Amino acid sequence: MTERDLVTNDDSMTLRFWGARGSLPTPGPGTLRYGGNTLCVELRCGPHLLILDAGSGAREMGAALAGPADADILLSHTHFDHVCGLPFFGPMYDPRARLRFWGGHVDRIHDALLRSWEAPVMPDIHKAFRAVLSFQDFIPGQDLTPHPGLTVRTILLRHPGNAVG
């Protein structure tokens, strides 16, 4: 069975919101209904896992994943509320994990993320990552094909410093 067969035979799509807030995590009784975490959405397309943004919700999502993660992480942009969960996303420290980052709002998504992991923002946390990481840049408007048979359409969003939908 090829990867395409897997997609063809399982075209289910499910979404789970692990964080839906902007700017700042907001715990407390006032945010119990939808939770207080910043953006992180788990998107399952058949057998494939896509993660849309990695705000503070990524910590709980990583803890809930069964087995080694194999995921495409699509980042709308790298404002802190959309990436602050990455240093706390358990699979980043799992040598069996395969995590592919996609970014289109800057020239090099790797460089943008690295700045959020290095001192003085973080204590060079990237040196502790053990997952197999890869970084894919694209131009907003470009169609992405994370897996055969799975297409992600992208669009430039109006947002300070650019963002991609």
Nearest position to Zn ion, beta carbon: 79
CB 55 to Zn ion: min, Å: 10
CB 26 to Zn ion: min, Å: 16
How far is C-alpha 39 from the chain's CA centre? 9
**89 neighbors 73 (Cβ within 8 angstroms):** no
CB 14 to Zn ion: min, Å: 26
Nearest residue (CB) to Zn ion, 90 versus 140: 140
Q: What residues make contact with Zn ion under the rule CB under 5 A?
A: 79
Measured in degrees and rounded to the nearest 5, phi and psi for residue 41 equal -125, 130
Nearest residue (CB) to Zn ion, 51 versus 69: 51
**75 neighbors 109 (Cβ within 8 angstroms):** yes
How far is C-alpha 112 from the chain's CA centre? 14
Nearest residue (CB) to Zn ion, 71 versus 164: 164
CB 97 to Zn ion: min, Å: 26
Nearest residue (CB) to Zn ion, 23 versus 134: 23
Query: What is the CA angle 86-87-90, rounded to 5?
Result: 80
